[in-house]
Amino acid sequence: MAEKSELELLAENLVLEKKNVWDEIGPIDREEIIMLGEEYKRFLDKSKTEREAAAVLSEMASQKGFLPLDSIISRGGLKPGDRFFKVFREKVVIMGIIGKLGLASGLKIIGSHIDSPRLDLKPNPLYEKRELALLKTHYYGGIKKYQWTAMPLALHGTVILRSGEKVCICIGEHKGDPVLTVTDLLPHLSKEQGKRKLFEGIKGEELNILVGSVPLQGDYKERVKLAVLKHLNDAYGLVEEDFSSAELEAVPAGPARDVGLDRGLIGAYGQDDRVCAFASYKALEQLGMPQRTALALFMDKEEIGSMGNTGMQSRVLDMVLEDLSAGLSSTISPVRVLYDSEALSADVSPGIDPSWESVMDDLNSARIGGGICLTKYTGSRGKSEASDANAEFAAKVRRIFNKNRVIWQTGELGKVDAGGGGTIAQFLANLNMEVIDCGIPVLSMHSPFEITSKGDLLMGCRAYRAFWESS
Ligand code: MN
Ligand code: MN
């Protein structure tokens, strides 16, 4: 190899190098990537709603020696090394490992969210028109509505029957299951629809799910609707009024897939933010006894602003902190613990899309395969509603990643004034702690088929583990 020139050596020292995960890893890493990808796809297939993800995460944790927090405390208190989890309203899981320092020096938190954009059924959804039965929906989170038509949908969720009995529904995922769908207009007759603006191409009230077509035989006005109700009653004991106490979510049907001839990418619904949820779970599972107590948050309602009693703006973290204080007989005030705490807001970032480069600042956007992405701030316009991470904390996280050979990059949520958005970072920051966004890049975010890189997933796991292992 030719010797490097003086300027090349100078550049090596001074210029920020953009790395590609696939160039930086060895054969053992490649094997790990494949294994991890397979496990991740299985996780996604079982976790298409926040309730399913919460159940799957707590089940996986139970199998790896994590115990319900309440049961550990009632057996005489917490000690360093204890692995625990706590589920809230079946939609939030907080799990962790007690560190050598207990609550001294605060917590090390990694917070992700397990809700994803989808079509929720309305409280009174079922109707018949033109001898077809349909379900009215109200979309949840930020979607491009036109993307949700003319594709197989599955129905997942929970219904509380009149009797109080709780029924879980999952239609469209198993071999032999029927699927549901939202129809779209044929191009031949779409002259008027074609004049609509893209975001109104399909309107909210047009997101109606086709659910039946065969009438019951006999004399009744809406025989197709009645047939659908009979199906639901036979299978689940459901009557029409039960929709009013249901959370039924239509999501893209079918399993996660490898994407690309080289199988380097994963395509699936709900990777925002279950990819970071999975990566942080894997990191916690592999963690030994940390110095500072490690906490993984798997939150709900991020996609609608972290509102509600299962969102990051609720008091669930306070409740865990109360439990930890009691279990460790700690006298440190919770406010102090939170002030001393450090957090990664583990949420996906937009990867630069070669077909849509114009919305991104090339210098400041994450690349697919470029590793885990540190985002100092999100927000809109002049950083409105952003948590802007302190330089000192960004420096600390950067040092941790460099020391542990984590491939990382920086990103921003698109060009200035191109749009924007937020994560749970601002709500963690409001609790007094240091926090920075740190997540895996995604293409086609919020679409029915989101794309991530298996290489970035591995770096996510390594980054989160390195953060928890650091003092
Ligand atoms: Mn997200
Ligand atoms: Mn999102």
Average pLDDT, the chain: 97
Q: Is the pLDDT reported for residue 123 higher than 80?
A: yes
Question: If you measure from the C-alpha of residue 423 to the centroid of ligand 1, how many angstroms do you get, rounded to a whole number?
Answer: 6
Ligand sitting nearest the alpha carbon of 273: 1
CA of 273 to the centre of ligand 1 (A): 5
- Which ligand is closest to the CA of 440, given by its number? 1
Q: Residues in the chain, how many?
A: 471
Q: Give me ligand 1 centre to Cα 115, in Å.
A: 8
- For residue range 245-278, what is the model confidence (pLDDT) as tens digits? 999 999 999 999 999 999 999 999 999 999 999 9
What is the average per-residue pLDDT within 165-175?
97
Cα(412) to centroid of ligand 1, in Å? 14
The proportion of the chain whose per-residue pLDDT surpasses 90, expressed as a percent, equals 96
Report pLDDT digits (tens) over 48-88: 999 999 999 999 999 999 999 999 999 999 999 999 999 99
Asked whether the whole model's pTM tops 0.95, one would answer: yes
CA 118 to centroid of ligand 2, rounded, Å: 11
Q: Output the pLDDT for position 1.
A: 64
Residue range 150-157: average pLDDT? 98
What was the pLDDT predicted at 3?
Answer: 87
- Residues whose beta carbons lie less than 5 angstroms from ion ligand 2: 272
**What's the per-residue H, E or C state across the chain?**
CCCCCHHHHHHHHHCCCCCCHHHHCCHHHHHHHHHHHHHHHHHHHHCCCHHHHHHHHHHHHHHCCCEEHHHHHHCCCCCCCCEEEEEECCCEEEEEECCCCCCCCCCEEEEEECCCCEEEEEEEEEEEECCEEEEEEEEECCCCHHHHCCCCEEEEEEEECCCCCEEEEEECCCCCCCCEEECCCCHHHCCCHHHCCHHHCCCHHHCCEEEECCCCCCCCCCHHHHHHHHHHHHHHCCCHHHHHHEEEEEEECCCCEEECCCCCEEEECCHHHHHHHHHHHHHHHHCCCCCCCEEEEEECCHHHCCCCCCCCCCCHHHHHHHHHHHHCCCCCCHHHHHHHCEEEECCCEEECCHHHHHHCCHHHCECCCCCEEEECCCEECCCECCCCCCHHHHHHHHHHHHHCCCCEEECCCCCCCCCEECCCHHHHHHCCCEEEEEECEEECCCCCCEEEEHHHHHHHHHHHHHHHHCC
Tell me the CA–centroid distance for residue 9 and ligand 2, in Å: 41
Average pLDDT over residues 380-384: 91
What is the distance in A from the centroid of ligand 2 to the CA of 412? 14
- Tell me, in angstroms, the distance from the centre of ligand 2 to residue 367's CA: 18
> How many angstroms is it from 349 CA to the middle of ligand 1?
8
Three-class secondary structure assignment of 409-462: EECCCCCCCCCEECCCHHHHHHCCCEEEEEECEEECCCCCCEEEEHHHHHHHHH
> pLDDT tens across 99-109, in order?
999 999 999 99
Q: Taking residues 326-347, what's their average pLDDT?
A: 97
Which ligand has its closest atom nearest to the C-alpha of 113?
Answer: 1
Query: Measured in angstroms, how far is the CA atom of residue 303 from the centroid of ligand 1?
Result: 7
Structure confidence at residue 386 as a pLDDT band (50, 70, 90): confident
- The neighbouring-strand residues paired with 205 are none
Q: Is the predicted pLDDT of residue 39 greater than 70, yes or no?
A: yes
pLDDT at 40 over 90: yes
Measure 49 CA to ligand 1 centroid, in angstroms. 14
* Under 8 Å between Cβ of 207 and 139: yes
Q: Identify the pLDDT of residue 295.
A: 98
Contact 224, 214 (CB under 8 A): yes
How far, in Å, is the centroid of ligand 1 from the Cα of 33?
23
* Ligand 1 centroid distance, CA of 268 (Å): 15
pLDDT of residue 458: 98
How confident is the model over 112-138, as a mean pLDDT? 98
Strand partners, 349: 441
**pLDDT score of 104:** 96
* Domains of the chain and any CATH numbers: 17-116+269-469 (3.40.630.10), 118-252 (2.30.250.10)
Q: What spacing in Å lies between the alpha carbon of 452 and ligand 1's midpoint?
A: 13
**Tell me, what's the pLDDT at 2?**
76
User: What is the pLDDT, as a whole number, of residue 385?
Assistant: 87
